[in-house]
Structure 1
Amino acid sequence: MMFRPATREDISSIDKIYLKIHNKEQNNELKVGWIKGVYPVRKTAVDALERNDLFVYEKNGEILASAIINQIQVDVYQNGKWIYDGNDSEVMVLHTLVVDPDKGGCGIGTKFVDFYENYALESGCHILRMDTNEKNTAARNLYKKLGYREADIVPCEFNGIPDVNLVLLEKKI
């Protein structure tokens, strides 16, 4: 098992994870707050790959999770009630963390956040930020357990999804 930068060959696997999550959301098996065909979509992964900020978790040749890790802060972050402040070069952001829902409950999300934190430290960033939809209680509970503070909840349109209450989270390491 390993974390690594994604390759073009990983895009189909990542897209399948997105689709599994969307299907489970439509069947009321998950509550993430995403919309199939709107966000995330294959282009979400392709754009991140082209920016070189898409990462995957692979085990036995199978992609089980992916996330986007970079220093791009979503525009609504500007008005967030952050405690930890720093210039952009000190902030690392985790976006679109997805775990194959058929493999959930095995600690993969926790391992990915640990990878993110180590990656941030190696990059000289001590301020960590991320966001999630207010509806995504599973993610909110995980991030709280991992020491992230809910800094604010901001109403917005998020990646084409209307009427989102975006939970802004932070941690200093």
Structure 2
Amino acid sequence: MLEIRRGTKEDIAQVAAIYDHILTEEEEGRAVIGWIRGVYPTENTAKEAVKNDDLFVMTDAGRIVAAARINQVQVSEYADANWKYQDILPEQVMVLHTLVVDPGQSGKGYGSAFVKFYEDYAKEHNCPYLRMDTNAKNQAARKLYARLGYWEADIVPCVFNGIPGVQLVCLEKTV
């Protein structure tokens, strides 16, 4: 049975294992995400999310298959983006960060289901403006988000999470 819940300290190892699985897929040429092992994401990424109480995990039959951070933190790079909705209050914006699906579980609709959860969560918290980002290299994520109704507001060149040369695709949607 599919469930999405807040992540706990006990989930950190499983979430970090998903990061490692994705990084291995990229290193072996089976995926293009734009992440770098040891830089981002790391086990500390998951630990920080648990500490801030904004890690959410998706389980299927008790096993974590996807995870992400959901909060209202707009990363500093967002200030350089040409958002469609500029004149909004920060408290009206919900942000999805570091959505990951275990590569061994891809194609099962977990990514779409997680984004739907994020959208419902934003509505429940009176945040009609949704924002997220991805690396321009990550064509799979860009296609998924476009299919789910997100538009690419801008692409911001930056050093992102310690990774140099990132073309950060800033996405948005309203609910």
TM-score normalised by the shorter chain: which range applies? over 0.9
Inter-partner Cα distance in structure 1 for 2:37 and 2:163: 10
User: Does structure 2 retain, via aligned residues, the 8 Å contact 1:22–1:34?
Assistant: yes
Inter-partner Cα distance in structure 2 for 1:161 and 1:28: 18
Partner of 2:123: 121
User: Does structure 2 retain, via aligned residues, the 8 Å contact 1:92–1:127?
Assistant: yes
Q: How many pairs were matched up?
A: 173
TM-score, normalised on structure 2? 0.98
Instruction: Note the alpha carbon deviations across 1:2-39, whole angstroms, 9 max, x for none.
Output: 00000111100000000000000000100000001100
CA apart distance, 1:84 = 1.8
Equivalent position SS for 1:81: coil
Equivalent position SS for 2:40: coil
Equivalent position SS for 1:58: strand
Inter-partner Cα distance in structure 1 for 2:174 and 2:82: 15
Which amino acid is 2:75 matched to? V
Equivalent position SS for 1:18: helix
Partner of 2:49: 48
Inter-partner Cα distance in structure 2 for 1:87 and 1:44: 27
Question: Where does 1:142-153 land on structure 2 (aligned, <5 Å)?
Answer: 142-153=144-155
Identity of aligned residues (%): 53
Gaps of 5+ in 1: none
Question: Where does 1:14-29 land on structure 2 (aligned, <5 Å)?
Answer: 14-29=15-30
User: Does structure 2 retain, via aligned residues, the 8 Å contact 1:93–1:130?
Assistant: yes
Gaps of 5+ in 2: none
CA apart distance, 1:136 = 0.1
Instruction: Note the alpha carbon deviations across 1:93-138, whole angstroms, 9 max, x for none.
Output: 0000000000001100000000000000001100000000000000
Question: Where does 1:43-122 land on structure 2 (aligned, <5 Å)?
Answer: 43-85=44-86, 86-122=88-124
Equivalent position SS for 1:52: coil
Give 4+ residue runs of structure 1 displaced > 3 Å after superposition: none
TM-score, normalised on structure 1? 0.99
Inter-partner Cα distance in structure 2 for 1:28 and 1:137: 14
Partner of 1:31: 32
> Is 1:170–2:143 an aligned residue pair?
no
Inter-partner Cα distance in structure 2 for 1:158 and 1:76: 8
